[in-house]
Amino acid sequence: MIHYQMDGKVALVTGASGGIGRSAAQAFAGSGASVVVSDVQEEKGEETVKLITDEGGKAAFQLCDVSDEASVQALVDRAVSEYGRLDFAVNNAGINDIAKDEYELDVWQRSLDVNLTGVMLCMKAEAEAMLASGGGAIVNTSSINGLIGNPMQPAYNAGKHGVIGLTRHGALKWAKDGIRVNCVCPGFIETPMTDIITKSAKLTNSMKLITPMDRIGKPEEIASAMVWLCSDAASFVTGHPMVIDGGATAM
Residues annotated as part of the active site:
156
3-state DSSP percent of the chain in helix, strand and coil, to 5 = 50, 15, 35
Q: Could you give the CA distance from residue 40 to residue 67 in angstroms, rounded to a whole number?
A: 11
- Which residues sit opposite 179 in a β-bridge? 136
Handedness of CA 193, 196, 200, 204 (dihedral sign): negative
Which one of 19-27, 48-56, 131-139, 164-172 is the stretch in contact with ligand NAP (CB under 6 A)? 19-27
Q: Could you give the CA distance from residue 76 to residue 71 in angstroms, rounded to a whole number?
A: 9
Q: Min. distance of Cβ 76 from ligand NAP in angstroms? A: 14
Site for ligand NAP, residues 184 to 243, rule: CB under 6 A: 186, 188-189, 191-194
Which one of 38-46, 75-83, 98-106, 172-180 is the stretch in contact with ligand NAP (CB under 6 A)? 38-46
Sole binder of ligand NAP in the list 11, 12, 13, 19 (CB under 6 A): 19
Q: Is 13 in the site for ligand NAP (CB under 6 A)?
A: no
Q: Is 57 in the site for ligand NAP (CB under 6 A)?
A: no
Residue 115 or 238 having the CB closest to ligand NAP: 115
Q: Is 14 in the site for ligand NAP (CB under 6 A)?
A: yes
Q: Could you give the CA distance from residue 137 to residue 178 in angstroms, rounded to a whole number?
A: 8
Contacts of 202 (CB under 8 A, 6+ apart): none
8 Å CB contact between 90 and 14: yes
Residue 84 or 205 having the CB closest to ligand NAP: 205
Residues found near ligand NAP in the complex (CB under 6 A): 14-15, 17-21, 39-41, 64-67, 92-96, 114, 118, 141, 143, 186, 188-189, 191-194
